[in-house]
Amino acid sequence: MASIKDVAKLAGVGVGTVSRVINNNQSVSEATREKVKWAIEQLDYVPNEVARNFKKQSSQLVGMMIPTIAHPYFSKLVFYVESELYKHGYKLLICNSETEKEKELQYIEMLKMNQVAGIIVISYHDFYNKIKIDFPVITIDRYISSEIPHVTADNYMGGTLATEALIKGGCKKLGYLGGGSLIQTSVTKRKEAFIDIAKKHNIPYVTMEDIVLLHQEYKLARKFLDHYPEVDGVFTSTDMFAAALIKELKVRGRRVPEDVQVIGFDGIQDNDLFHPYLSTIEQPVEQIAQTSVQLLLESIMHKNVPKENILNVRYRKGETSLF
């Protein structure tokens, strides 16, 4: 494996010059920069990011803890976070926890060893305010403590908009279907809003929640319809649940939206190339990513940042609701 000394020798420059090129120092002339880049390509040299961070006593690495990269919402969020960090000269380490507590703890230790500048966290475990972390933390969809900034979509407003749309569409028996959690997250406000609006309009309603893994939503959707076949309007906590429910309704010969209206949450279906085009509450994914990165970078610079950051959502009517 080539070293920085090998690169310097091939390019005919000093080791310090190679280091300045790698760190994008503008003091190096364009001609010298091109020679160093050529040598790096010839030797297939890969800079040691951790060693560079240690030497500079700073880091251009940021960690991001997510439940699963396989979920369309999380993968989209990661895309925008990485893009925003790159604009500011940072690189992203993705930690795919699969919602396992032990795996998250191991990743935290790994991030410490890599001397990351900070982390952005989406977690359903309650330990981030109980362990020692020496770098800034920003959470998404989770309030952990008054000391840790968090970014979230306005989940209560989303639940309100969805439930009101179902009522305005003529639904007489409402249902809520969603994934449960062992801890309190901002997502629970979607169900709270659903119940509040249903009560406000004196509309009978039912709810069903359970902790399910990705792609296991169909099993709960089937159970929901077995228990509550009379519902004619359903708000689901995610678009994945909405898709599973629509699939099961089709199996049972019930039409969407004529017989049952369905509204999801997330906005992962961002085009109308596939049908039915889902009615949903769109989260501002790009804005969530940009806000999280901005808060993290300001925290890294030891600036005071707002601890609660709630972003607006919008209702997007598709083909699965009447209003």
What are the pLDDT digits (tens) for 180-219? Answer: 876 778 889 999 999 999 999 999 999 999 988 777 899 9
Co-location of 149 and 166 in the same domain: no
Contact by Cβ (8 Å): 126, 99: no
The reply to whether 321 falls in a domain is: no
137-140 vs 261-266, strand pairing mode: unpaired
The helix (H) or strand (E) run that includes residue 85 is helix 72-87
**What CATH number should be reported for the domain holding residue 188?**
3.40.50.2300
The reply to whether 52 falls in a domain is: no
Contact by Cβ (8 Å): 176, 191: yes
Co-location of 141 and 163 in the same domain: no
The reply to whether 318 falls in a domain is: no
Co-location of 115 and 186 in the same domain: no
Co-location of 63 and 118 in the same domain: yes
The reply to whether 74 falls in a domain is: yes
Rg of the chain taking only CA atoms, in angstroms: 24
pLDDT confidence of residue 133: 81
Co-location of 123 and 272 in the same domain: no
Co-location of 185 and 207 in the same domain: yes
pLDDT confidence of residue 151: 97
Co-location of 167 and 275 in the same domain: yes
Co-location of 31 and 139 in the same domain: no
Range of the domain at 84: 59-153+285-311
pLDDT confidence of residue 84: 97
Tokens of 249: 């309704």
Comparing C-alpha atoms, which of 95, 98, 92 is closest to residue 49?
Answer: 92
The reply to whether 316 falls in a domain is: no
pLDDT confidence of residue 113: 80
279-282 vs 314-316, strand pairing mode: antiparallel
Tokens of 231: 């519902």
Co-location of 299 and 272 in the same domain: no
pLDDT confidence of residue 266: 96
Q: Is the pTM of this model over 0.85?
A: no
- Residues of the chain scoring pLDDT < 50: 50, 54-57
The reply to whether 25 falls in a domain is: yes
pLDDT confidence of residue 130: 66
Co-location of 76 and 192 in the same domain: no
Co-location of 21 and 75 in the same domain: no
pLDDT confidence of residue 48: 62
The reply to whether 237 falls in a domain is: yes
The reply to whether 30 falls in a domain is: yes
Co-location of 117 and 169 in the same domain: no
**What CATH number should be reported for the domain holding residue 43?**
1.10.260.40
Q: Which residues contact 246 (CB under 8 A, 6 or more apart)?
A: 256, 262, 276, 278, 320
Query: What total of structural domains would you count in the chain?
Result: 3
| Burial class (CB within 10 angstroms; exposed 0-12, middle 13-18, buried 19+) of 300 | middle
